[in-house]
Amino acid sequence: MALLFICEGEDPTEWETALRTEIPDLDFRVWPENVGNPDDIDIVLTWQPPRALLASFPNLKAILSLAAGIEHILRDPELPPGVPIARLIDPGLQTGMLEFVTMEVLRHHRRASEYQDQHRTGDWKLLRQTLSRDRRIGILGLGHLGAACGEMLTRFGFPVSGWARSQKDIPGIKSYAGEDGLFSLLEQTDILVCLLPLTPDTEDILDATTLGALPRGAALINAARGKHIVDDDLIEALDSGHLSGATLDVFRTEPLPGDHPFWSHPKITLYPHAAAWTLPESAAPVIADNIRRAYHGEELYGRIDVRRGY
C-alpha cells in the first residue's frame, strides 16, 4: 500500500513527517523522484497534478486533494474513471478563511483603505461610521467555508445572506438558491464574498451583469478562484464608481503577471492566494482518516461529485 505525493515545488518532508505521525508504516513516495513501481500506488495526495499522470497508476483507490478546491484535478481530461476524489475539509483551512474573510469584511466596513490613504497624505479626517446592522453581507457559496464565514459575521451584527445551489437552513443566515435567488441576494448586498467552487456553472459568474446588480458603493471580496471574475468587468465597475473596492486573493493566472492592471488599481487590495493555507499539522489527521477509509473501501470524507464539478 503506497501513497504518492504529487505537488511540484512543495517540500514533501513536513507532509511525510505529519502523515507518519498518524500512520507510522505509511509507504510515502514522492513524484517524480521516488515513484517506484506505478502498480504499487494506491493513493495520490496532490495539488495540480500534471495532465494524464494520474491515469498511469492502474491500481489507484483514491485521489486526495491538498486543497479545498478540486478544479486543479478535474481539469485533467484523462482522469482515471471511477476513482473517488476527495476535496480537503480541514479545520485549519476553515480557520484561515474565517480570519481572512472577517479581516477583509471589517476593512471594507470600517473604510480602512481610505484611512490608509489619508495617513499617507497626512489628512486628519473622520469618515462616517456605519453600524454593522446596516451593512449587508452576501456570501456566494454556503459550504464548509461560506457557511462558517456567514455564521462568524452574524456575531458582529451584520445581516448575512447566502447563495448556494440548494436552499439552506442556517440560523441567522437568509438563504437564496437558483438564478433568481442570486439576483435577489446581489440587490441587497453591500459586501459580497465569493466562496464558490470553480465549475463550468460558476466560471465568470462575477461579470458586468452580476456586479451591476449590486447596489452602488458595494465592495467585493474574492477568496475562491480567479476565474469567477471577468477581470475587465471588475475594473470597469471600480472605475465607474459602482463598486467602492475589491479584495482579491485569487487570479486567473497565478502568480498574477506583473503587468496586470489589478496590481496598481487604487481600489484593489491584493493577496498572493494567501487566504487559507493547507498546513500539514492541521490537515494530516483529516488526510490520514481518508487514507484509512480508502484502504478499507469506505466512502471518502469530502468525496466530490465529478459530474457536478465540486
- Identify residues 104-123 at the interface with ligand NAP (CB under 6 A): none
Contact between 188 and 138 (Cβ < 8 Å): yes
**Helix pair 280-295, 13-22: axis angle to 10 deg:** 60
Tally of residues, the chain? 310
Coarse DSSP helix, strand, coil percentages of the chain, rounded to the nearest 5 percent = 35, 20, 45
Instruction: Please pick, from the candidates 2, 49, 64, 69, the single residue that binds ligand GLV as defined by CB under 6 A.
Output: 69
C-alpha 202: how far from its chain's center?
13
Tell me, what DSSP letter sits at residue 229?
B
Residue, CB closest to ligand NAP: 143
Q: How many CA atoms lie within 13 A of 88 on its CB side?
A: 29
Which residue carries 502523515 as its cell?
19
Q: Which of 4, 41, 86, 142 binds ligand NAP (CB under 6 A)?
A: 142
In whole angstroms, how close is the CB of 224 to ligand GLV at the nearest point? 8
Report the distance separating Cα 297 and Cα 245, nearest Å: 48
223 binds, among ligand GLV, ligand NAP, none (CB under 5 to 8 A by kind): ligand NAP
Residues from 18 through 47 that contact ligand NAP (CB under 6 A):
none
Among 107, 109, 144, 227, binds ligand NAP (CB under 6 A): 144
CB 64 within 8 A of CB 83: no
Residue range at the interface with ligand NAP (CB under 6 A); choices 49-57, 119-127, 135-143, 152-160:
135-143
Q: Which residue in 79, 160, 195, 294 binds ligand NAP (CB under 6 A)?
A: 195
**Minimal distance, residue 197 CB to ligand GLV, in Å:** 8
Applying CB under 6 A, among 6, 45, 53, 68 the residue interacting with ligand GLV is 68
CB of 99 to ligand GLV, least distance (A): 14
Q: Which of positions 98-157 make contact with ligand GLV (CB under 6 A)?
A: none
Enumerate residues 6+ apart whose C-beta is below 8 A from 91: 282, 286
Piece of the chain touching ligand GLV by CB under 6 A; list 15-23, 66-74, 205-213, 262-270: 66-74
Phi–psi pair at 4, nearest 5 degrees:
-110, 125
**Which of the residues are catalytic?**
225, 273
Summary count for the chain: helices (H), strands (E)? 9, 12
Residues that bind ligand NAP (CB under 6 A): 68-69, 93, 97, 141-146, 163-166, 195-199, 201-202, 223-225, 249-250, 273, 275-276, 310
